[in-house]
Amino acid sequence: MSKLKVSELFYSIQGEGRYQGVPSVFLRVFGCNFKCDGFGMPRGQLSNERIQIKPNKYKTYKDLPLVSSGCDSYASWDPRFKDFSPLLDTDNIVIKIIDLLPTGYWQGEHLVITGGEPLLGWQRSYPDLLGNDFMDHLQDITFETNGTQKLTTEFYNYLKAWSEKNKGEVTFSVSAKLPNSGESWDEAINPDIICQYQEVGYTYLKFVVATEEDIEDAEKADREFRNAGFVGPTYIMPVGGVNSVYHLNTKNVALAAMKRGWRYSARLQCDLFKNEWGT
């Protein structure tokens, strides 16, 4: 049986993108190929908030402090925090999902597989998870990805077959990283990979922005994706893992989206739950 290293498994409201407002089970798996220490920092500077957190001061994942700069889910990939994320077999994960669902079965809730970067090596484990009998009534799945990982042939074929067999839909929510993340353009903007996703599921782009410069970067990236054949919608979402930062630029981001025919994504998890762990 396959295993996944699980950072968080919780039930909440999807706060971002296409399924905003939909009750959802979130499976956050461990590991990422990026660090994104640039978020919330002046251009060219990297946050050291994460680095200053001492793992041995905390007992559980939920005890860890939230950060106002850098990646807001740092504990789901920084190796210093790896012991907070147990390796669970897929049957065990399904049992935990049943416990989370209010009625003990799927009744329109949505499954979000997030990270970290959920399309790293874990692609090999998802068929075991999704193939469990209990998952038959699951309707929709979203992979929240940074758009850098190609689907393996096996997983590509599996998802195509899954969509044909099930009533629901596979979605790729691609948060491609702009220079404000601190990651390099060449590694972060991968039009061919996003075009592969749209062959097997509904795919949209979601750029995290704060300044005019970020919005110009989003326009440039959007052009690159569309020139390669990407046809889905583009969202922009205000930067901000914590409320005080998030609310600084919500209105400007909404106005920028309206001007370009893009969609605005809120971060309902900040408004509703202050972006605490497990939300």
Residues that bind ligand SF4 (CB under 6 A): 32, 34-36, 71, 73, 77, 115-117, 146
Minimum distance, C-beta of residue 58 to ligand SF4, in the bound complex (Å) = 19
Of the pair 64, 138, the CB lying nearest ligand SF4 is at 64
Nearer to ligand SF4 by C-beta: 158 or 204?
A: 204
Shortest CB 167 distance to ligand SF4, Å: 30
In 3D space, the residue among 50, 114, 43, 115 whose CA is nearest the CA of residue 77 turns out to be: 115
CB 266 within 8 A of CB 254: no
CB of 177 to ligand SF4, least distance (A): 6
Q: Which CB atom, from 94 or from 119, has the smaller least distance to ligand SF4?
A: 119
Strand 170-174 to strand 202-209: parallel, antiparallel, or no bridges (unpaired)?
parallel
CB of 259 to ligand SF4, least distance (A): 26
Angle at 92 between CA 96 and CA 77, to 5 degrees: 85
Amino acid at 201: G
Question: What is the rounded CA–CA span in Å between residue 172 and residue 141?
Answer: 9
In the complex with ligand SF4, the residue whose CB is nearer, 116 or 240, is 116
Least spacing, CB of residue 159 vs ligand SF4, in Å: 21
Answer whether 81's CB lies under 8 Å from 30's CB: no
How far apart, in Å, do the first and last CA atoms of the chain sit? Answer: 29
State the nearest-atom distance from the C-beta of 175 to ligand SF4, in Å. 6
The answer to whether residues 116 and 31 touch, using CB atoms and an 8 Å cutoff, is yes
Residue whose CB is less far from ligand SF4, 12 or 73: 73
One-letter amino acid at 97 equals: I
CA distance 114 to 146: 10
- Cβ proximity to ligand SF4: between 116 and 232 the closer is 116
